[in-house]
């Protein structure tokens, strides 16, 4: 969670505090366990916060979270395949 907060991907708030932010909108999320690799190359489990489909319009804005993203600010992503 520390990395997600540092990079601005997540802001952990209690619901009562989130409701105080003008025009704030929420989205459903999950917290699945996935594997990662540590500095020794060992596979270890890791919990990771995830967002579900963010293409639905918000209740207040009537626009989706996805449509409000500045794609120029996104970090580059590389996809590949791996076999276990």
In a domain, 83, yes or no: no
pLDDT for 52: 67
Could you give the CA distance from residue 54 to residue 36 in angstroms, rounded to a whole number?
25
pLDDT tens over the chain, length 84 residues: 777 788 887 788 888 898 888 877 777 777 788 898 999 999 999 887 776 677 878 777 888 888 888 889 888 888 777 776
**What is the domain extent for residue 40?**
25-70
In a domain, 38, yes or no: yes
pLDDT for 39: 92
Give the number of domains in the chain: 1
pLDDT for 31: 77
Q: Which of 46, 67, 48, 70 is nearest to 58 (CA)?
A: 67
In a domain, 34, yes or no: yes
């Amino acid at each position: 969670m520390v990395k997600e907060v540092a990079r601005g991907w997540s802001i952990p708030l209690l619901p009562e505090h989130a409701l105080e932010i003008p025009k704030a909108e929420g989205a459903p999320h999950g917290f699945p366990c996935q594997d990662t690799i540590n500095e020794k190359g060992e596979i270890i489990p890791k919990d990771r916060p995830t967002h579900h489909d963010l293409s639905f319009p918000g209740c207040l804005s009537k626009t989706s979270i996805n449509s409000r993203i500045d794609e120029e600010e996104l970090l580059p992503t590389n996809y590949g395949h791996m076999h276990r």
